[in-house]
Amino acid sequence: MMSIWVGENARVLIQGITGNQGRFHGAKMVEYGTEIVGGVTPGKGGSTVTLHNRDLPVYNTMNEAIKSTDAEVSVIYVPPPYAAAAIKEAAKSFHDVRGEGLIVCITEGIPILDMIDVTSDLGQYPNIRLIGPNCPGIITPGVKGGSKIGIMPGHIHRKGRIGIVSKSGTLTYEAVAQTTGIGEGQTTCVGIGGDPIQGTGFIDCLEAFEKDPETEAIVMIGEIGGTAEEEAAEWIKANGTKPVVGFVAGATAPPGKRMGHAGAIISGGKGTAKEKIEAFESAGIHVANDPSVIGEVLKIALIEAGLREL
């Protein structure tokens, strides 16, 4: 294995391939080198979509699409009212046809109750993983090309040994650019999304990076709200063997403005950047206090771990 969850040559379907977002980002993915094998738009089955000079078949259903293309991954660019149903259809179809599969949902603005429903639905498919929603996606850079599944700018990535996981889209790009900037590259970068309910969390990614022999160090980017960062720090304390660099966005954000009133209570006063950073530090994570020094802090962490020359 040389990455997590998606290999360089993963076969990928696009749900919503005939829409504006699906076509725009579909073309960018093909251009990057992603093995896009087709797409699904109900009612448009049998037609063809041309993305970056490649003609791709459109199917009516995911079941049909997976059977015809042997796809392992689906990326969803379906508008919010239909996104939950698209995730559920993908999960059932991957389960029925292949027994496993990865679903990456880019869509922003899915009602939270729809996501609760999706989460409980996914419980019945043990080998189906959802990344997102409201996320930039996942990318495994390759020697030539690679697999970009989502909306991230491909050209800032480079194949290497750093695993990156982040709640924030654009901040992930910042971290990626900085790791590339210090001469390192990435095994896989996962944007888990900033929605309160997510298919894949920090710990899922940390576990996978920990197991992946090609990943030698990890960059984890969090933000205020919830307690996912604290839980990730606990996990690292108990299980982590690879150096981790962490950053938490929102140290200067005004309290109470984004977090709901009662949401702050459940977390028992947790959720501030300060607490998250303290949790990171106590777990031995190398903390970047300034997002523009993530690369520098990573360099130091690698040197300290004997993974890089001074």
Residue 255 engages other proteins in binding (rule: CB under 8 A): no
| 163 bridge partner residues | 218
Residue closer to other proteins by CB (options 49, 221) is 221
Residue 300 engages other proteins in binding (rule: CB under 8 A): no
Residue closer to other proteins by CB (options 46, 268) is 268
Bridging pattern class, strands 137-141 and 146-150: antiparallel
Contact 117, 47 (CB under 8 A): no
Non-local (6+) Cβ contacts of 5 within 8 A are 102, 129, 131, 138, 188, 190, 208
Residue 144 engages other proteins in binding (rule: CB under 8 A): no
| Residue 95 annotated among the catalytic residues of the structure | no
Bridging pattern class, strands 54-59 and 48-51: antiparallel
**Shortest separation between residue 35's beta carbon and other proteins, angstroms:** 21
Query: Cα(74)–Cα(29) distance, rounded to whole angstroms?
Result: 13
Residue 124 engages other proteins in binding (rule: CB under 8 A): no
Residue closer to other proteins by CB (options 71, 75) is 75
- CA–CA distance from 43 to each of 58, 99, 214, 284 (Å)? 10, 26, 42, 53
Residue closer to other proteins by CB (options 263, 284) is 263
**Tokens describing residue 301:** 């962490």
Of residues 265, 282, 303, 304, which one binds other proteins by CB under 8 A?
265
Of residues 72, 174, 204, 229, which one binds other proteins by CB under 8 A?
174
**Shortest separation between residue 68's beta carbon and other proteins, angstroms:** 29
Residue closer to other proteins by CB (options 61, 289) is 289
Of residues 291, 300, 305, 307, which one binds other proteins by CB under 8 A?
291
Query: Cα(188)–Cα(208) distance, rounded to whole angstroms?
Result: 10
- CA–CA distance from 297 to each of 5, 21, 68, 181, 301 (Å)? 27, 36, 47, 12, 6
**Shortest separation between residue 192's beta carbon and other proteins, angstroms:** 11
**Shortest separation between residue 270's beta carbon and other proteins, angstroms:** 11
Of residues 33, 42, 45, 153, which one binds other proteins by CB under 8 A?
153
| 73 bridge partner residues | 12, 102
Residue closer to other proteins by CB (options 97, 293) is 293
Contact 108, 102 (CB under 8 A): no
- In the range 175-194, which residues lie near other proteins by CB under 8 A? 177, 194
Residue 167 engages other proteins in binding (rule: CB under 8 A): yes
Q: Which of 52, 95, 155, 261 is catalytic?
A: 261
**Shortest separation between residue 126's beta carbon and other proteins, angstroms:** 16
Instruction: Please give the torsion angle defined by the CA atoms of residues 9, 14, 15 and 17, in that order, rounded to the nearest 10 degrees.
Output: -170
**Shortest separation between residue 57's beta carbon and other proteins, angstroms:** 25
Exposure letters 224-247 (e unless 16+ CB within 10 A, then b): bbbbbbbebbebbeeebebbbbbb
**Tokens describing residue 229:** 């960062």
By annotation, the residues acting in catalysis are 261
Residues that bind other proteins (CB under 8 A): 25, 80-81, 108-117, 119-120, 136, 151-153, 156, 166-174, 177, 194, 196-197, 221, 223-224, 226-227, 247, 249-254, 257, 260-269, 289-293
